[in-house]
Every structure is written in C-alpha cells, then in structure tokens.
Chain A
Amino acid sequence: MRVGVVTFPGTLDDHDAARAVRFAGGEALSLWHGDSDLQGVAGVILPGGFSYGDYLRCGAIARFSPIMSAIIPAAEKGLPVLGICNGFQVLCESHLLPGALTRNSELHFLCRDQEIEIVNNESAWTSDFSNGERIIIPLKNGEGSFQCDDRTLNELESNNRVIARYVGLNPNGSRNSIAGITNARGNVVGVMPHPEHAVDPLTGPTADGLAFFTSLMKTRI
C-alpha cells in the first residue's frame, strides 16, 4: 500500500513518518507541498514540524498550499488522512477536523514520553488498537491545547469522535484531556503526540505508535 507523506517548508518529521509507514509494511511516497497530484496514494500523512514557520497561526498558511487543495476534497470523499502534531493543526485550519490547537496552558514547550489511552478503535488509523489500550509515545509541542466550543465538544463526545486522551495529569489544558479526534466518517484523524517516533524501541521509548500505521494497512477503501 502506497502512503503519501507531505513535506511543507518547515516540516520536521516527514522522514520518521515515512519510516513508520515502511515499518508497518507499506510504501512511503514523498509529496511536496507545491504539488497538487496525490499520485494515487491510499492514504496521506501530514507530519509534525513548523510548516511555513508557524507564521500567522500554526497550520494557517499550509492549509492554502497546492497539496492541501488536493487533499481536502479527497479527504471529504473518504481518503484516510492522519495529521500528527503540526499536521493536526493543519487539519483543524482546513476544517477537516473541528476545533483548534492553542498555546499549552502553562506556556511551556513540552517534550516528553506521554501515556495516552486509545478510546475509539473504529477509525482508519486506530483499528489495530484495542479500546482502552494505554500506550506511551512522545509528546513534543508548544501549541497542543485542544480547544473548541461547548457544542462542538458535546458533538465529539456524543458521537465517539475522540480517539485518544491523555492519561493522568492533563499536560496542556486540552478540553476533556483530548489527545486526538476523528471526523464523522472516521477516515481523518488528528493526534497531538507522535506515534511515528515510537515504532522501534531502538529509536523511541516504545513501539506503541506502530499500530496507527498498521491500522491503515488493514483499512480497505
């Protein structure tokens, strides 16, 4: 299965995302922000980093790049898309996912191994987990606080669209300790901590993140 990994100017984690795809048994295809051809990929990953220097707002400029003009309509038709960290911010700015990511409540950039609980294993990117599974993957961001209005929060909670929550102390002030969400269809997922940095115990704290990528391999489109 070919999975596209997008590189914006300022993207940092595209190589780890591509490696995670290969570890999961897929083929990673690099997609450049200035291109608008998805080259028939079966899924897309928007990796972490600081696209366009985080100018204006995180993800705000990336959202208007040519590659996003191709990804947005494809995602609306069901193409699996995973946004990690900055990628999650791009998905919110694109309105593929509701809410927004704002400054961490304590204003510090956090970089640590974080325990999260998978609370919805029905999305395209979480089906290889069991519900309630607790995993440890790196969290590293300054603007990771998930915020939305009460109506959106109710909608997310009542429709089982939260896919992961932080375990223990809420690290960044995210509403309801939300670490990741999905769209109504379950093909678009945004997650703040980094599964692609935890696919191999040699280079990460665990291999717990790998199941995000093996989940996609099991998804039939």
Chain B
Amino acid sequence: MAKVIVDVVLKDEILDPQGDAISRALPRMGFTFSPTSVRQGKSFIITLDHEPGSDELSEIEKAAATLLSNPVIESFSIRVEN
C-alpha cells in the first residue's frame, strides 16, 4: 500500500487573505514565534493498494496539473509515502 500526497499552495505572488488572517491570529493567541507570513494550502492524499509505477505517477502529476490545482494561481508538489 502507498499514499501519494499532492500538496497544493498558492503561488507566492497571489494574495492569500486566509493565510494573512492566520498570521494575524497567531500572536493574538499568545504564540511568540512571530511568523513573517503564513500561506494556506491543501493536500490530496491518494491511497493505492500497491507501489505506484512511473506511469501512474506521471498520470497523477497530470491530474494534479489539470484538476487538483489551478496552474494560474497555484503550484503543487507530489510525494509518496509507504
């Protein structure tokens, strides 16, 4: 069994008002690590009953580029966990 995890985040130049709100909330809650910024993203955890082959990984990459992310505003990365 393997999990293929697709992480999607907004590109750096795209305004992220949710991340900004989180960034402002942290010190208000007493956390002292004072981030310079917080960016909010999302993860897709795709479970397979086998190790993905290179063909399947390139298919997942295609799905990530067409459906799971919007390349106009988002970038993605793919990692495999066993």
Answer whether residue B2 sits at the interface, using C-beta atoms and an 8 A cutoff. no
Answer whether residue A214 sits at the interface, using C-beta atoms and an 8 A cutoff. no
Answer whether residue A205 sits at the interface, using C-beta atoms and an 8 A cutoff. no
The interface size of chain A toward B, counting residues with CB under 8 Å, comes to 22
Closest to B66 in A: A64
Instruction: Give B14-38 as 1s and 0s: 1 = Cβ < 8 Å from A's Cβ atoms.
Output: 1101100100000000000000000
Q: Which residues of B contact A93 (CB under 8 A)?
A: 70
Asked whether, in the complex, the Cβ of B72 is within 8 Å of the Cβ of A148, the reply is yes
A88 to B11, CA, bound (A): 21
Closest to B40 in A: A103
Answer whether residue B68 sits at the interface, using C-beta atoms and an 8 A cutoff. yes
Answer whether residue B1 sits at the interface, using C-beta atoms and an 8 A cutoff. no
B3–chain A nearest beta-carbon distance, Å: 19
A residues near B (Cβ < 8 Å) are: 56-57, 60, 64, 92-93, 95, 98-100, 102-107, 145, 147-150, 173
B residues near A (Cβ < 8 Å) are: 10-11, 13-15, 17-18, 21, 67-68, 70, 72-73
- Can you sample 10 A-B contacts with CB below 8 Å? A98-B72, A102-B10, A102-B15, A104-B17, A107-B18, A107-B21, A147-B14, A147-B73, A149-B13, A173-B17
